[in-house]
Structure 1
C-alpha cells in the first residue's frame, strides 16, 4: 500500500505470522535484524479488496487494511476480531536527527568501585550528527475482556499489563523483551533495538520507539499460548537444551574468596545430605595486580585451577564463574582489546557488536577459565551501563529513563542500546559451541532481549532487596519475562541486599542484624566471624522465598550482606533449616518432571513458568492473579508473600493466620499436593500455609514423574521412577531422557516415553519408548501411584521400553 510519503508492506512468514513494515522513505531499508533469524516467506495467502479495504487472508489469519489510513484489523480464521489499530491509522513516524559520539583512540578514563562492579564515569567524546531516522509510535485498540503479558522482567510487580505502562531499556533491575502476548491468542514482536515504552493508560494504548529506520513488527496468532510461542520461536530461534544439572540447586554468594572455601562448602552440603549441583565464583577471583575483569584465576588463592575444579567434579558439583564486559587498569585482557581497537568509547567495555571483539573476548575466557574445566558462565553487568546506580534518592521514572538511556547513547548507537546483552550472549554461545560439543552452554545473565534464548541464557532479576514487597513483586515479573519466549528465569533467593543503607536508594533491605555488607575487595581468606543474618524475620522471608524458588525454572540462592548456605539458618531439627532442606530435596525428587518439561521447551516451544490466565483464558478471574502461577502443566504454585511468624528484629507475630487465599480455576478438579485432598475449580479457598509448606495444587489429569532424593542430579542414573497419576480427567505426559549434557541430542540421541491416562477406562498406557542414546537405562522400576478423591493405589512394574498398560483396578 502506498500513499504520498507513506508505504505499508505486509508479508506472511507462516500462515500464522504477518510482518508489517511502515516507512515514510522512498523505499524500505530491510536492514538485517538482530532479533529475527528466519528468511521464510509464506506465499499461500489470498488477497481481495473492497471499496474501503484491502483484505489479506491465510487459513489462520485475516488482515483488513483501511485504504485511506492503513489501519489494520486482525481476525482469526473464524472472523473473531483479535485486535485492531485505531481508524486514524495507528502507525506514526517522525523524522529525527540521530547523533553519535566520537572518541580519541587513546581516551583515558577513571574508574571507581561500585556495588556490582566497577563504574566508569563518562569519557569525553565529540557529539556529531550521524544520520536522519525516525521515532515511531504504534497504536492498538485492545478489547475490554483481554489481558496482556510480556515485555520482560521489571521492578513494579505488574501482572496483567492492562492499564499499565512499561519503560523498555536495560538496567540492573530490568530485563527487556519487546514482545507481548494476549489471552485472545496473539502476540506482537517489535523488531527494534532502541529505547521503547509501552502504554495502556491515560496516554493511550501504544508502543513508542526512540529510533528506527522504519517501523517493523510481527503479528503472531496461535490456537493456544504455546502455539503463539512456537511461532515466535520460528522467527527468533529455538532455545537449546540446558544440561540436566542446571535444574538442580545452585549455591552462590557475594563472594567465595578461594578454592579451599568452595570445596569446604560443597563438602559440607554432602556431609549434611542436602543436595547441591552448582557452586558459583563471583568477582575478584582474578590476580590481585592489574584491574577489574581479568578472566583468569589469582595464582595465590587458586594455585591449581584444574585440580580445584576436578575436586569439585569428584564431589558431584559444577563450577559457574562470573565474567564481566568491563575491564579496567592494566589487566592483560583489557590491554589486548585496547591494542586491537575492540573497545567501546569508554575504553573499558568491550564492543560486543563487533564479531572480532566477541571472538577475542571468547578466546580470553577460554584460555583463562574454560580450559581448566569450568562448567558455566555468569555474564554479569550485561546492560552494560547503569548511570543511576548511586545516591540516596531513587529518581522518578522518567528521570531514570533519561539518565540511563542518554548515558548508553554515548557509547552505543541509539538504535541498538537494548541489544548489548544479545550480542554478548551470542559471543559466549558461539565461542563455546566452536570449542566443544561435550558441554552444553549455560550463561546466567542479568539482561535479555528477544532472541537471546537461542544462546542458552538464563536471566535473573538483578540486585533486588530483601523485603516481602520485593518477593510479592517478583512473582508477576518472572511470569511477564517467561511469556516472551525467554524460558529460563530466576532471582536471588532472599534478595541480594539484606540490610538497609540510607545512602543508597537500591540497598534497602529490611534486616540488619548480623549483616556485614559488601565483601571487602582485598579479602583473601573467608571471614570466620561472618555467620549470617541473625534476624529471624529474615530467616522466615528467606525460607518462603526458597519455597517459591523451588518451583522456578532455575533454583539459585545468591546475595550480599550475609552468606546463604543452609547452616546459616539453623541446624537439623530447627524449623527454618528443616524446611529449607525439605524443599531442596523436593526439587531433586521433581527432576524427571522438570527436565522433561524443559525438553518440551526445546522440542515444542513450551513455557515452564506461566501465568494462570494463559492456561485458562476463558476464566477471567485468572487474569489478575499475581501470586499464583503454573509450573509446567501439572502444578499451580501459590507462594506465601506475607510474614506469619516474625517481624523485623526477630519480633514474634501474634495470631497471624497460617493460611492464604487460593483461587482454583474453573472447569477442573484440583488436588492439594501435600494432602491429596481434591477441590472443585471455580472457587477461592483458604489454603493451609504453615512454615513447612506453601500451597501447591495439582490439576486433575496430571502425570508427574519423580525419583528419590539425590545429592546431585543423576547421582543414581537408574533410580526408580515414581509416576503419580491424578485422576479425574484424561491426561498425558512425555518423559524425556538423554545423556544430560553435550549436544548429541541435536542429532537424535534422546528417548521419549509417552504416558496416556484414560480417566473413563481407568487405564494408564506407557507407550513404547521412542529413540535411544548412549548410556540409556534400558530397564527401570516404575512405581505407579494412582491418586483419586477416595484413595491412593500403588502398582509396580519394570519398564523395558515396550508398551505397558497399568490400571488401579487390577
Structure 2
C-alpha cells in the first residue's frame, strides 16, 4: 500500500513537472524546447487558425506582420499534457500537438485525422549577417502525403497546376508575383510570414520554406475543410475584399501607348461609333514627358496639355479612365525632390535605365530614376500628395500601378543592404507591392467614399486583396505556350486568397508576328489574329477583361470589320462578357461578402473527383460556369519562340523569324476535348445539350466560340445588350434556370461606384430552384439603396425553350415549369 502511494505521488509530481514546461497565455501557449535551444509560441486567432513563432532560446522578438491584420482571440482552446512530453491543444475544430522533446508540431482534425506535421528541425536558424546586423536565415520543413494536392505560392509561370516536385526561389518579378502560402486538398493552408527571398521546396523528403533573412520562424496554419474554407481563413487574417466599381468589370482597352490625348479619346469615340462595348480607356506611360520627368504625376508632355479636358471627354462618352503611375521618379520631378530631401529614395538600378528613348539603353545618359521607400509612412504620404494634386483631383477613376515589384536590374549586395523604414531591403523586398499599393488605397479612402479604389498592378503579396487591387501577370510574351501558362498562373494566384487577377490579352511582346508584313501588320497576320482572339475569349472569364500590349495595336477595329470572322469573334467575346454582368457582379459580392473566388480551380468544387486535382486548362468562373479556353492553335501553326526573360522583349519588335501564314479559313469549325467533372450534370451554354459529368467529350468549336458549360442546378441571370455597364437598367433580366439539381443564386445590386454598400445600401434578391417540384422561387428583396428598381420583370427561361415572364415588386414570387 505504501509502495502504491509512493508511486502515485511520483506520477503526480511528474504531471506537475510537465505542467510547468509551458506557460498558458491569453491566446495560446509558450514553451521552450531545451534539446533544440528553441522557444515556441502558439497564438490562436480563432478555432481554425493559429500562428507559430519560433525563436532561438532566450531571444525576444517583437514582429508585427505586414500581411496579417487580425488580432489573436482570447483562446477557449483546451490545453493539456501527455505523459510522453506532448502539449496538446484542442479547439472545436483542431487538435494541435507539440512534442516538447523534438519541438515538432502536428495538426489533426478532432477525429484524429492527421493534416500536417512538421519535420524535426535541426537547421531552423543559420547565422546570417544582414547589412551588419547579426540575424538568421530561417527554415522549416513539413511532411505531406505523396498524393496530396498543393496549390498557391502566387502567380508563377511554370505552367503547373499542382505546386509539387519543385524547388522555387520566391522573389517578386515582372511576370511572377509571389506569396509564400500554399493550400492542400486536405483543406488546410500554411502561410510562411516572411518577406525576404524564400525558397520553397517540395520533394519526396520534405515540403519546406527557407528564407534568406528572419529573426524568427513565423507561420500560420489555417484549416477550412475545403479550398473555400481556407480562403475564408486567409481573408479573416489578412483582410476581406472590398467591392470594386461595377464599371471595372466591363471591357478595358489599352496599349503601349497612346501618344496624345486626342488619340486616347479617339479610341473611345471609335468604339462608340462601332457599337463595341467599352467601359475604360487606360493611358500608359510618358504622358509626363521625357525620362528625366519619369512618373512626374503631372502632364508635362505637350501632347497631353489639357488633361482635365481629356478626362472630361472620356466621361462624356460614358467611359472611365485609368492611368499609369510607377514606384520610381525621375530626378527632374517634384516628387523626386521631396522624397530625396527626406532620404526616401533607393539607389538601385531600375527602369528606365537611360534618360533618352531608344533600345538598348544608352549608358552615356543615365536616367537617374530612383525607387521610393514605400515602407515609410512619410514616403507614402508624399507619394499620394503629388498623385492627388497632379492627377486624382482632375477626375481620374483608377490607377495602373506599374513596376510594383519594383523593377530591379543588376542586383548587388549593397542594394539589399540599403535600410528601409522597416529594416534592410533584403528583409522586406517581397512585401514592396503590398506597401505601395496599400499606400495609394488607404489615402484615397481617406479622401473620398464616393469613388471606389480600383488599382491595376503588376505585383502582389498576400493581404493586397484588401486594397482594391487587381494584379496582372506582367509583360508576358505573345505566344501560345505563354498563353497556356496564364491559366494556371491565375488559378494558383486566386488560391492564395487574392481573387482579382488578369493578363495582357494577346500577350505584351508581340513584335515577332509583324514579320514579313511591316510595322503593326500582325493585325493582319492570321497567326497572331488567332492567338489574340483566343486570349480575348479567355479574358471574358477573368475578374478583369483588359486588352494591352506592345508592338501591335490592340483595338478591335484594326482586325477587320463587322461580318469578318476575326473582328466578329473579338466583339462577340466582349458582348458575352457584358451579358454576364449581373452574374459577374453578384459573384463579386459573393467574393466580397462570403469569401468566394472568381476563377476556381476545378478541385475547389469537385474535390471528390480526383481527376480534377491537376487539371490546369479548365476552371469554374463563379460557381456555375465551366470555362475551357482554346489554348492551342487550330487554324494556324504555333509560332515557336524562345521564352524571353524580363526586359528582353524590348527591341525584339518587328524582328520576327516565324513564317506568317497568309491564308487561314477561320470559318471552319474545329473540335477539342473537354473533361466534365463528375458528380453533376452539365449543359452546353451555346446549344443547351445535356451531358453527365465524369467524362471527356469532343466539343465543337468555332473561332467565335470556346467550350462553355453550365452546371446543372444553376441560376444564371443575363443582362441587356449595352455599350457600357450603366447604359440600361437591369429591369428585365433573363433568368436562365438549368434543371437537374436544386440550386440557388443571389442577385446583388448597389449604387455601383461608392462605399455606401458598407453601410447597408444594397439589395439582394434570392432565387431558389426546386428540381423535384420544378419551381423557381424569387424571394423577397432584402435591403434598399437610392435609385434601386422598385419594380421589374424577370424572364425565366429553361434549356428546353420554355419561358415565363414574372412581374416582380419586391415580394416573393414562385414560378412553376
User: How does the TM-score come out when normalised to structure 2?
Assistant: 0.88
Distance 1:406 1:581, change over 3 A: farther
Per the TM alignment, residue 531 of structure 1 is displaced from its structure 2 partner at its CA by 6.3
Greater displacement, 50-59 / 481-490: 50-59
- Provide the rounded CA distance (Å) in 2 between the counterparts of 1:718 and 1:246: 17
Aligned equivalent of 2:678: 666
Asked whether the 8 Å contact 1:512–1:533 carries over to 2, the reply is: no
Aligned equivalent of 2:565: 575
1:257 and 2:259 are equivalent in the alignment: yes
Asked whether the 8 Å contact 2:456–2:471 carries over to 1, the reply is: yes
The secondary structure found in structure 2 opposite 1:603 is helix
Say which of 478, 495, 503 aligns to 2:490. Answer: 478
- Provide the rounded CA distance (Å) in 2 between the counterparts of 1:564 and 1:90: 55
Per-residue CA deviations over 1:260-284 (Å, capped at 9, x if unaligned) read 1111111111111110000000000
Per the TM alignment, residue 137 of structure 1 is displaced from its structure 2 partner at its CA by 1.4
Say which of 109, 114, 121 aligns to 1:76. Answer: 109
1:546 and 2:536 are equivalent in the alignment: yes
Say which of 690, 703, 706 aligns to 1:678. Answer: 690
The secondary structure found in structure 2 opposite 1:159 is coil
Aligned equivalent of 2:127: 95
- Provide the rounded CA distance (Å) in 1 between the counterparts of 2:518 and 2:195: 40
Aligned equivalent of 2:811: 802
Distance 1:203 1:560, change over 3 A: farther
Per the TM alignment, residue 290 of structure 1 is displaced from its structure 2 partner at its CA by 4.6
Aligned equivalent of 1:562: 552
Say which of 508, 512, 515 aligns to 1:512. Answer: 515
Asked whether the 8 Å contact 1:169–1:405 carries over to 2, the reply is: no
Distance 1:195 1:289, change over 3 A: closer
Aligned equivalent of 1:379: 401
Aligned equivalent of 1:721: 733
1:457 and 2:490 are equivalent in the alignment: no
Structure 2 unaligned spans of 5+? 1-30, 349-368, 640-659
Greater displacement, 611-620 / 458-467: 611-620
Asked whether the 8 Å contact 1:513–1:534 carries over to 2, the reply is: no
Greater displacement, 485-494 / 65-74: 65-74
The secondary structure found in structure 1 opposite 2:523 is coil
Superposition map of 1:50-65 within 5 A: 50-52=82-84, 53-65=86-98
**Bigger radius of gyration among the two:** 2
1:628 and 2:618 are equivalent in the alignment: yes
Aligned equivalent of 1:132: 134
1:535 and 2:547 are equivalent in the alignment: no
Per the TM alignment, residue 765 of structure 1 is displaced from its structure 2 partner at its CA by 1.1
Aligned equivalent of 2:40: 8
Aligned equivalent of 2:657: none
- Provide the rounded CA distance (Å) in 2 between the counterparts of 1:515 and 1:183: 50
- Provide the rounded CA distance (Å) in 2 between the counterparts of 1:29 and 1:695: 54
Per the TM alignment, residue 617 of structure 1 is displaced from its structure 2 partner at its CA by 1.2
Superposition map of 1:154-303 within 5 A: 154-201=156-203, 204-288=206-290, 290-298=292-300, 300-303=302-305
- Provide the rounded CA distance (Å) in 2 between the counterparts of 1:409 and 1:246: 40
Aligned equivalent of 1:117: none
Tell me the number of residue pairs that the alignment of Structure 1 and Structure 2 aligns. Answer: 738
Per-residue CA deviations over 1:611-649 (Å, capped at 9, x if unaligned) read 101211111101110101110000111011111112350
Asked whether the 8 Å contact 1:515–1:561 carries over to 2, the reply is: no
Say which of 709, 712, 716 aligns to 1:704. Answer: 716
Per the TM alignment, residue 499 of structure 1 is displaced from its structure 2 partner at its CA by 2.2
Per the TM alignment, residue 694 of structure 1 is displaced from its structure 2 partner at its CA by 0.7
Per-residue CA deviations over 1:439-473 (Å, capped at 9, x if unaligned) read 00111111110101111111000000111001111
Distance 1:763 1:169, change over 3 A: same
Asked whether the 8 Å contact 1:498–1:512 carries over to 2, the reply is: no
Aligned equivalent of 2:152: 150
Greater displacement, 404-413 / 611-620: 404-413
Superposition map of 1:334-345 within 5 A: 334-345=336-347
1:608 and 2:598 are equivalent in the alignment: yes
- Provide the rounded CA distance (Å) in 1 between the counterparts of 2:127 and 2:732: 65
- Provide the rounded CA distance (Å) in 1 between the counterparts of 2:414 and 2:622: 40
Distance 1:44 1:581, change over 3 A: same
Structure 1 unaligned spans of 5+? 100-128, 389-402, 501-509, 517-529
Per-residue CA deviations over 1:722-748 (Å, capped at 9, x if unaligned) read 111110011111111000001111111
- Provide the rounded CA distance (Å) in 2 between the counterparts of 1:589 and 1:406: 53
Say which of 376, 380, 403 aligns to 1:358. Answer: 380
- Provide the rounded CA distance (Å) in 2 between the counterparts of 1:784 and 1:557: 34
Distance 1:324 1:798, change over 3 A: same
Asked whether the 8 Å contact 2:731–2:789 carries over to 1, the reply is: no
Aligned equivalent of 2:312: 310
Aligned equivalent of 2:503: 491
Asked whether the 8 Å contact 1:96–1:134 carries over to 2, the reply is: yes
Greater displacement, 292-301 / 318-327: 292-301
The secondary structure found in structure 1 opposite 2:387 is helix
Provide the aligned C-alpha RMSD in A: 1.9
- Provide the rounded CA distance (Å) in 2 between the counterparts of 1:553 and 1:569: 25
Distance 1:552 1:646, change over 3 A: same
Aligned equivalent of 2:788: 776
- Provide the rounded CA distance (Å) in 2 between the counterparts of 1:513 and 1:446: 32
- Provide the rounded CA distance (Å) in 2 between the counterparts of 1:294 and 1:590: 39
Aligned equivalent of 1:425: 437
- Provide the rounded CA distance (Å) in 2 between the counterparts of 1:662 and 1:438: 44
- Provide the rounded CA distance (Å) in 1 between the counterparts of 2:499 and 2:516: 36
